Amino acid sequence: MEWQRNIKTLTTDELKAWLRDVDEKPYRADQIQKWLFCQQVRSYDEMVNISPALREKMAKQFTLCGLKEDQRSVSVDGTVKWLFETEDGHHIETVMIPANGRYSVCVSTQVGCAMNCAFCRTAKMGFTRNLEAGEILEEIINVNWYLKDNGFMNEEGGVAQVTNIIFMGMGEPLNNLENVHRVCCTLHNQKLFNMGAKRMTVSTSGVVPKIKELVDRNTPCCLAVSLNSTNNEYRSSVMPVNKTWPIEKLLEAVDEYIRRTDNYVTFEFVLIQNITCTPKAAKELIRICAPRRVKVNAIVLNDGDDPTLHAPTPEEVEDFLAAVRAAEIQITIRNPRGRDILAACGQLAYKKEGKEC
């Protein structure tokens, strides 16, 4: 199906070039992007300092609102999950997690995912296509509309806005790096969202060459890696990406990233009973983390569709954390949020009217 390019995908330079092509003044690009990203308008008609003729040209060429809210679920813990329909009829999910005046949004970067991780519901959808940068930005803008329309306040008593972005929804972000890079640059742009690089985290299952490309591009973001296991045999069995780029190669890329960016890397580590949440696994994790500037973000498995994988008991989790902390490794446990609405890690998959892809 043919669909128009999303105007939010364009960089300022691309928008200027288009304006020149249609005999308009390039400086209008700044005005248009302020409407798109500062005012976050919902129609071209709201751009009152743009001539009706230019508004019409834009409307003929570009989509302004490419995502349609299809469903919205609110968890008992305040987490909100959106099901959006794209212009070409696909579905993606976005999750907003409110905590202590911060509003973090977990965005999808692809329709489905090709990485086939065993513990992930998105994997079962297969891969359909990459999201455009404009579509990913619209996930964030839709959350801002929700915060505004529902009277959410920030800590200063003003209208709340999304404060943190995690590229960890549906899809492998580094397999859509061109669009993820554009999104990070737009969010980081002082004239537009003015969001600090430390507030954006791109998470990867371990696509090694793309980690290097992320550094080469100087993408303003932090990096998280879904490590999940320190054992190649097991990691390969649950994360097929490990067959192509085993842990040694992944750690080389992580080391290069740390050296060249001077940033920390966060290892995401899913705790699975008798597999990754054992004294031996804790020891292995310490061996990998001790020589590196890394933090560990542990997540207790969400009991999913695989009957062979189980969440550890709270005591097993505590023992694991205590062992890692004793080695002075920074480890935090992420509280599962939005479990009741299937919004927690690994639970995102298009599900509507009882059907699941």
Binding site for ligand SF4 (CB under 6 A): 113, 115-117, 120, 122-123, 170-172, 205, 346
Q: How many CA atoms lie within 13 A of 261 on its CB side?
A: 26
- State the pairing for strand pair 351-352/91-99: unpaired
Token duo for residue 140: 């964030």
The answer to whether 284 touches 232, Cβ cutoff 8 Å, is: no
User: Is 2 designated active site?
Assistant: no
Nearer to ligand SF4, 118 or 333 (CB): 118
Nearer to ligand SF4, 122 or 130 (CB): 122
Helix extents (H) in 65-110: none
- State the pairing for strand pair 200-204/164-167: parallel
Closest contact distance (angstroms) between CB of 306 and ligand SF4 is 13
Closest contact distance (angstroms) between CB of 266 and ligand SF4 is 15
Nearer to ligand SF4, 133 or 174 (CB): 174
Which residue bears the tokens 């911060």? 102
As beta bridge partners, residue 96 has 80, 105
Provide φ and ψ at 227, rounded to 5°: -80, -60
Q: Which helix (H) or strand (E) holds 19?
A: helix 12-21
Token duo for residue 331: 């480890």
- Which residues sit in the known binding site for [4Fe-4S] cluster? 113, 117, 120
- Which residues sit in the known binding site for S-adenosyl-L-methionine? 171-172, 203, 226-228, 302
Which residue bears the tokens 């992420």? 334
Closest contact distance (angstroms) between CB of 127 and ligand SF4 is 9
CA-based R_g, the chain, Å:
21
Nearer to ligand SF4, 120 or 275 (CB): 120
User: Is 345 designated active site?
Assistant: yes
What's the Cα-to-Cα distance from 193 to each of 14, 38, 51, 95, 137, rounded to whole Å? Answer: 18, 7, 25, 19, 11
101: left (phi over 0), alpha (psi -120 to 50) or beta: left
Token duo for residue 220: 């303003």
Nearer to ligand SF4, 29 or 97 (CB): 97
Closest contact distance (angstroms) between CB of 356 and ligand SF4 is 14
Which residue bears the tokens 């990459």? 130
Q: Which of 93, 132, 138, 268 is catalytic?
A: 93
Closest contact distance (angstroms) between CB of 292 and ligand SF4 is 22
119 CB neighbour count, 10 Å cutoff: 20
Q: Collapse the DSSP code of 227 into the 3-class scheme (helix H, G, I; strand E, B; otherwise coil) and give the result.
A: coil
Q: How many CA atoms lie within 13 A of 217 on its CB side?
A: 18
- Which residues sit in the known binding site? 113, 117, 120, 171-172, 203, 226-228, 302
Q: Which of 106, 184, 277, 345 is catalytic?
A: 345
Closest contact distance (angstroms) between CB of 107 and ligand SF4 is 12
As beta bridge partners, residue 349 has none
Nearer to ligand SF4, 120 or 187 (CB): 120
- Residues that are catalytic: 93, 345
